[in-house]
Amino acid sequence: MSFDFDLFVIGGGSGGVRAARLAASEGGAKVGLAEEYRMGGTCVIRGCVPKKLMVFASGYSGGFEDARAYGWDVTAGGFDWPLFKGKLHAELDRLEGIYRTNLDKAGVEIFDTRAVLEDAHTVKLATGQRFTAKHILVAVGGRPFVPDMPGAEHVITSNDIFHLEALPRDILIVGGGFIACEFACILNGLGVAVTQYYRGAQILRGFDDEARGHVAELMRERGVNLHVGTDVIEMKPVEGGIWVKSTDGREHVYEKVMYATGRVPNTGGLGLEEAGVKIGRGGAVEVDDYSQTVVPSVYAVGDVTNRINLTPVAIREGAAFVETVFKGNPTKPDHDLVASAVFTQPELGTVGLTEEQAAEQEAIEVYSTSFRAMQSLFAGRPDRVMMKLIVSKASRKVLGCHIVADHAGELIQLAAVALKMGATKEDFDRTVAVHPTMSEELVTMKAPVRTA
């Protein structure tokens, strides 16, 4: 059978673009790609990149205070949101342009419109065009989830933050995951009065308990009005903002309310189930170890599969798909020991098992320390760094590493290499410390603080 394309990719995010480029440039495939919004997906357009730039911007408020403590005569003016916003979107335009240029160079045909599946080998575009493809890759990512409740139409999500005409005087952020916590810290750093509600007992569920408790404490110390065990029961628009009543009986009017209560795969209305693709819990496309669905010609990568929802993972999945399908080299994406960072202030970097996960599977030793780093101590900041290693008693391998500190995201990348190589606690001990640094604590913790 003759097809219009060897591969048609639905979705122009990091995973889909990587797969399209490699299939065309290295796999010799004729490739089409459809994206209904902007090239770059969540990460480039409304996630990692603009968020990290906002993290940088928000950090300067504390930086000015530190500079004065170090002897600099510094006077900070107000934060100019319109100026920053303009530069931010110019940068996103630049990055989107790079994505498009690279696709063009690889020979990928781009369609700036929505595409859906009609059957196992056919996609239909919103323009009315139909194309057949030997293989179809679904890489449409996810979207913010907002509960269906009265007043929900008046809230914003992380998608909207970057498009605000002005920063609000105050905001309520509902949620306790990494997105909620990151934006609570960002907006607090930019001078917005931030209140955060989370219905659970502690923020950052799924992360190491000691580490997430440490982050919560520091967020409060820096000015975030964080309430756990609290949820919204009623809200409505009123003069001056949105009136909110919470489960603890508190009532308040906030200029903005932002929901960051998780994300869901963006599978609605794509024709997947009609084409025979199995959709699992929460709307995720079910795939095997090679990202193949139950329909042999249809594959899926990235957040739409709800495996590990991180940009570098989607990129690895896209590359593994090309190796498998177009290079004759069956390759499973490696989801083991994937490091990640939460860009709160300070940051949380993590790789491997939490203390709780490790203790459930085997006997462990826990090495942990909390201290005031030299830079912040001299400046008079109360911040405390936390560093933690989880060690197997039997094998001596380091099973997990967790860091709460400024630039923890940078530090955890290097620790991840050691864990991926199977480093033991004694390998860490044999490593000479770099002094004076925060990170030297990772190799100088000699005695466990507890065992389990």
Token couple for 63: 């930086």
Instruction: Check whether 1 has a pLDDT greater than 80.
Output: no
Which pLDDT band holds residue 442 (cuts at 50, 70, 90)? very high
Residues at the binding site are: 52, 175-182, 262, 303
Backbone phi and psi for residue 232, each to the nearest 5 degrees, phi listed first: -85, 135
Per-residue pLDDT band for 181 (boundaries 50, 70, 90) equals very high
Query: Are 5-143+264-327 and 147-260 in the same CATH fold?
Result: yes
Q: Where are the domains of the chain?
A: 5-143+264-327, 147-260, 339-451
Q: Where are the alpha helices (DSSP H) in 368-434?
A: 374-379, 408-420, 425-430
As a whole number of angstroms, the distance between CA 146 and CA 158 comes to 11
Q: What is the pLDDT of residues 374-425, one digit of tens each?
A: 999 999 999 999 999 999 999 999 999 999 999 999 999 999 999 999 999 9
Mean pLDDT of 292-319: 97
**Domain 339-451 falls under CATH 3.30.390.30:** yes
CATH code for the domain defined by 147-260: 3.50.50.60
Q: In sequence order, which residues have a C-beta less than 8 Å from that of residue 212 and are 6 or more positions away?
A: 202, 203, 204, 205, 348
| Angular region, 240: left φ>0, alpha ψ -120 to 50, beta rest | left
* Architecture of the domain whose range is 5-143+264-327: 3-Layer(bba) Sandwich (3.50)
- Judge whether 154 counts as a catalytic residue: no
Residue 275 CA, distance from chain mean position? 30
pLDDT above 90 covers a percentage of the chain that reads 97
pLDDT digits (tens, 9 = 90+) for 29-88: 999 999 999 999 999 999 999 999 999 999 999 999 999 999 999 888 889 999 999 999
Q: Which of 135, 163, 407, 435 is catalytic?
A: 435
Q: What is the DSSP pairing of strand 5-10 with strand 130-138?
A: parallel
Q: Look over the chain and give the mean of its residue pLDDT values, rounded to a whole number.
A: 96
